[in-house]
Amino acid sequence: MGICAVGNYGGIPEHAYTYPLNIITAVRIICQLALMLAMYYHTHARDAFTYSVFLASVLLAAFTMFLNSCSIVFIIQKFYWRKLESCLSLAAGVLSFLVIVILVFCVTGPVSIYVVYLRFIFITLFAGNGFAFYWASTQTSDSVSNSYMSGPTQNTANTLESGLSDDFDHDDTADLVLR
C-alpha cells in the first residue's frame, strides 16, 4: 500500500489481484506473514541453538524475507519477468531448505514448541516457494509495463514546465539584479 500511495494510485493496482498474478501475490503475502511469525519464534527458540547456528538461521530467514519483499515490489510495480520471479522463488526455496536443515540437524539444546513451529513454518515456506517457482515458470508471461512510470512522469513534466514558465514570465529578477 505504501508504494502505491507514493504515486497517488489510491490503493493496490488492479493487475496485482487479477489472474495469473493474483496467485503469486497471495503466495508471496502468505510467505511474508509466515516469515514475520518465524522471526518472532526465533527469539523464543534461541536456547535450542548455539550462537553461530542461531545467527545463521536468522540471517537466512531475513534474506528469504528480503527476496519475498523484492518479489512483492516487482509485482506491485508491474515489472514482472518470468525469469526474475523464477529466480527469486528458487533462491527463497533454497534458503528455506537450508533453514530446515539447520532446524533439524543443528539443535543443541532442548527442543521447545517454538522449534517445532519454526520447522513447520519453514517447511510451509519451502512448499510455497516451490509452488511460486512452478507457477512463475509455467503459468505466467513477461509483462513489463511503462504505464505506471510514464503517467506520473508526464504529469510531473507538465507541472514543472508550467511552474517554470510562471517563474520566468515575470520580470522580477531584473529588480533583484539592480538592487
Helix then strand count (H, E) for the chain reads 7, 2
Confidence band of 145 (pLDDT split at 50, 70, 90): low
Determine, yes or no, domain membership for 152: no
Confidence band of 164 (pLDDT split at 50, 70, 90): very low
Domain containing residue 91: 2-145
CA 77 – CA 74 distance, rounded (Å): 5
Determine, yes or no, domain membership for 75: yes
Determine, yes or no, domain membership for 170: no
The total number of residues shown for the chain amounts to 179
Determine, yes or no, domain membership for 156: no
E strands, 2-96, are 79-80
Q: What is the pLDDT of residue 147?
A: 47
Q: What is the total count of domains within the chain?
A: 1
Determine, yes or no, domain membership for 116: yes
Q: Is 13 helix (H, G, I), strand (E, B) or coil?
A: coil
Determine, yes or no, domain membership for 99: yes
pLDDT tens for each residue of 53-104: 899 999 999 999 999 999 888 877 767 778 888 899 999 999 999 999 999 9
Determine, yes or no, domain membership for 167: no
CB 154 within 8 A of CB 56: no
- pTM listed for this prediction: 0.68
DSSP 92-135: HHHHHHHHHHHHHH---S---HHHHHHHHHHHHHHHHHHHHHHH
Q: What is the pLDDT of residue 14?
A: 65
Torsion sign (Cα): 111, 114, 117, 122: negative
Determine, yes or no, domain membership for 151: no
